[in-house]
């Protein structure tokens, strides 16, 4: 069964750093593109970042560019989101999602078909 | 880039619900639709405009043309209540619509 599980959230002070993890089971991260999507309390979905299946393309939303960085471990089972200079506006549930459509090109569209339960980041 | 959705759509049980999403040249891009129920993670219901992932009922369908994409739910059931988000790529960024709350009255 395809599954992703996020962890690493917590309560931090403004200006702090935090690292989120996304562990994949049932598939390898080198097979599918992966996204981080966040949702602030009572708000809609906001795309944060994505990495292509081959790890070559790392893409970031404007609100996190320069502050957040993606990485993957060599086993290709865990993806990380390194977050720095956190602000109150970064408070959200952070979801990891596997994309079965997007490989490397935006022309492929997206199919974020596997989502985790999310991990909560509170900056206060 | 912005994807615009009506905040609320109401439908009677058994009727057809249409949820629209508007954006510049949206018809030139693939659109996905996600359903989210309170306290739950999003679920993909339509991708690449018209495709349904495994396990999604046939009553969910999608279309995309011009500047508007539409998610249609035929024979809407109470279990279909929730928030629906459209999503598309613009350049090297993923954009989500603001979401539509579907109520089944």
Q: What is the DSSP track for chain A?
A: --EEEEE--EEE-TT--EEEEEEEESS-TTTSEEEEEEE-TT--EEEEEEE-TTS--EEE-TTTTTTEEEEE-TTSSEEEEEE-S--GGG-EEEEEEEESS-SS-GGG---EEEE---EEEEE-
A32 CB within 8 Å of a chain B CB: no
Would you state the pLDDT for residue B28?
Answer: 95
| pLDDT exceeds cutoff 90 at A103 | no
What pLDDT score was predicted for residue B30? Answer: 96
The SS3 of residue B77 is coil
Inter-chain contact A102–B49, Cβ cutoff 8 Å? no
Classify the phi-psi angles of A21: left when phi > 0, otherwise alpha if psi is within -120 to 50, otherwise beta: beta
Q: What is the pLDDT of residues A33-70, one digit of tens each?
A: 999 999 999 999 999 999 999 999 999 999 999 999 99
Q: What is the pLDDT at residue B45?
A: 98
pLDDT digits (tens, 9 = 90+) for B7-42: 999 999 999 999 999 999 999 999 999 999 999 999
In this complex, the residue of B41, B43, B96 whose CB is nearest that of residue A47 is B96
Which residues in chain A touch residue B48, judged by CB atoms under 8 angstroms apart? 101, 109, 111
pLDDT in the model for residue B101 = 98
Rounded CA gap, A37 and B35, in Å?
14
A111 CB within 8 Å of a chain B CB: yes
Closest-CA residue of B relative to A43 is B98
Mean pLDDT of all residues belonging to chain B: 97
Comparing CA positions, the residue from A72, A101, A91, A98 lying closest to residue A14 is: A91
The better pLDDT of the pair A30, B84 is held by: B84
Residues 6+ apart with CB under 8 A from B9: B17, B18, B19, B100, B101, B102, B103
Q: Which residue of B has its CA nearest to A118?
A: B41
Convert the pLDDT of each residue in A63-97 to its tens digit: 999 999 999 987 879 999 999 999 999 999 999 99
Lowest mean pLDDT among A51-60, A64-73, A104-113, B85-94: A104-113
* Residue A101 sits at the chain B interface (C-beta within 8 Å): yes
A25: how many CB neighbours lie within 10 A of its CB? Answer: 11
């Amino acid at each position: 069964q395809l599954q992703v599980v996020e962890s690493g959230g917590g309560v931090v002070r403004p200006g702090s750093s935090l690292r989120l993890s996304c562990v994949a089971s049932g598939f390898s991260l080198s097979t599918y593109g992966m996204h981080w999507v966040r949702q602030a309390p009572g708000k809609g979905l906001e795309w944060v970042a994505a990495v292509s299946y081959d790890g070559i393309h790392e893409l970031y939303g404007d609100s996190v560019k320069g502050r957040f960085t993606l990485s993957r471990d060599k086993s290709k089972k865990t993806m990380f989101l390194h977050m720095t200079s956190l602000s109150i506006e970064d408070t959200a549930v952070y979801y990891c999602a596997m994309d079965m459509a997007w490989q490397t090109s935006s022309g492929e569209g997206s199919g974020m078909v596997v989502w985790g339960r999310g991990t909560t980041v509170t900056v206060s | 880039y912005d994807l615009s959705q009506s905040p609320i759509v109401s439908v009677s049980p058994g009727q057809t619900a249409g949820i629209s999403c508007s954006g510049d040249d949206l018809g030139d891009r693939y659109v996905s639709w996600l359903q989210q129920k309170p306290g739950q993670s999003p679920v993909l219901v339509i991708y690449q405009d018209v495709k349904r992932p495994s396990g999604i009922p046939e009553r969910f369908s999608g279309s995309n043309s011009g500047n508007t994409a539409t998610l249609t739910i035929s024979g809407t059931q109470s279990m279909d209540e929730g928030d629906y988000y459209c999503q598309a790529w613009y350049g090297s960024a993923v954009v989500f619509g603001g979401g539509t709350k579907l109520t089944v009255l």
